[in-house]
Amino acid sequence: MTDQADLSQNPDLAWDLDDFTDRDRAMDFVMQFESTLCVYSPSVEQLYTNYNMFFPKEFERKMVILPDPNAFHDTFFYIAPEAVVATGLYVIPGELIEKDGLYLANVKEDRTLGDRQIPFMVGMRAIMANRPPDDPFLPVLAKGDLREFDDSWPVMHLHRVKPKVLAEISELDRSSLGSVISEKLNSLFVSQQ
């Protein structure tokens, strides 16, 4: 499993669930993304494409993300924090708006749901199709992205990687990074059909 030393070396991999009214609902919601979205850690400038989420009893009310130690090749290094930006887009459970599945939505500054909610798959495909080839939409998760909405609903904010900003990695690695993120996202599309 993990120990306190592991978490102190990379605190980005321990997400607090203290503020969630319905912790079980938050856990169920976030688990949908375990094999479909990569996780970014700014403190070590790494992007994890192969990991597991755990809710260990010894770290009460935390979710711990553990990269697969046998899949070193599934971690991208030298991903500078300025290359990973907040999108303002949220993935919400359809139940929040009395529908099935996942939806893509915006949240207003006053923390209320925005005017448009689009089925996740339709919204993501439209965003990805409308991006220029040299600046694709590559969504990832980071600590703090799992949030509570309306005192009981978990929602997931999305960050995105901007490949053009990744000066420390090769063009081959940038291309590979984009391919991995897109492939994982496609598996989420399949699970939503």
Average pLDDT over all residues of the chain: 88
Question: Under 8 Å CB-to-CB from 160, ≥6 apart: which residues?
Answer: 84, 85, 87, 137, 138, 139, 140
* pTM metric for this prediction: 0.89
pLDDT of residue 168 exceeding 80: yes
Enter the tokens of residue 133.
């080839």
pLDDT tens track for 117-166: 999 999 999 999 999 988 999 999 999 999 998 878 999 999 999 999 99
**pLDDT tens profile 31-75:** 999 989 999 999 999 999 999 999 988 777 889 999 988 877 889
CA distance 131 to 122: 15
